[in-house]
Amino acid sequence: MKKISLIGAWLGCALVMGFIGTAQAQSANDPTDAGKAVFKRGNCVGCHKWHGNGGGGYGGDALSLRKTELTREQIIETVTCGRPGTGMPFFVRGSYDTAKCYEMTRQDVADRMPPEANVFLRPNEIEAVADYVLARVKGKSEPTYDECIAFFGDGSRVCNIYKEAGHAAAPSAESEKAKP
């Protein structure tokens, strides 16, 4: 009886390890998955939208990440420090205090201090989101149905507008404002 229990326990462990290995392999297939998760968790979509085109958001008119000319290092600094005088928040605790941002301190920025993000990020998370933007958003044309599904997953009703329009471009900020 002990032998059967040991075999069952061994098979159970092997099965669990197989599931873990499969999940890791799927995640390893797309190294930008971690950055996409940070993009969602950090609420970048609130202003830049899922597709990165930007437009109106509660932080103001966010710049298009599809049209950005920022380098990886500049994206990292922007996420770390926010953008003074705008609604772009800083995502690292102590920005402008313990670490200079744009070669400025909190006193230098004064009343142009960017808001504090609701969620603070670690350096590796900021690097991951920068890599995601560079690989999946920057330099891309208008968003497609396939990109929407890649972001939200199969079966997302959010993507229906792109499917029905035959993979048409995302609605412009003007058409979004026109909706009731």
> Domain spans of the chain?
1-30, 31-140
Q: 60 forms bridges with which residues in the sheet?
A: 57
Kind of pairing between the strands at 55-57 and 60-62? antiparallel
Structure tokens at 121: 């990020």
CB 90 within 8 A of CB 105: no
- Which of the two residues, 59 and 75, has the higher pLDDT score? 75
pLDDT (tens digit per residue) in 104-137: 999 999 999 999 999 999 999 999 999 999 999 9
Give the type of residue at 85: G
pLDDT (tens digit per residue) in 21-32: 433 444 456 879
Q: Provide the sign of the torsion angle of the four alpha carbons 70, 39, 129, 171, taken in this order.
A: negative
Residue positions counted in the chain: 180
- Token pair 């380098």 is found at 71
pLDDT (tens digit per residue) in 65-102: 999 999 999 999 999 999 999 999 999 999 999 777 99
pLDDT (tens digit per residue) in 115-124: 999 999 999 9
> Which pTM was predicted?
0.74
Fold of 31-140: Cytochrome Bc1 Complex; Chain D, domain 2 (1.10.760)
Q: What is the pLDDT of residue 25?
A: 40
Proportion of the chain in helix, strand, coil states, percent, rounded to 5: 55, 5, 40
Q: What is the mean pLDDT of the chain?
A: 80
Q: How far is CA 85 from CA 41, 96, 155, in A?
A: 24, 14, 39
Confidence of residue 12 (pLDDT cuts 50, 70, 90): very low
CB 80 within 8 A of CB 74: no
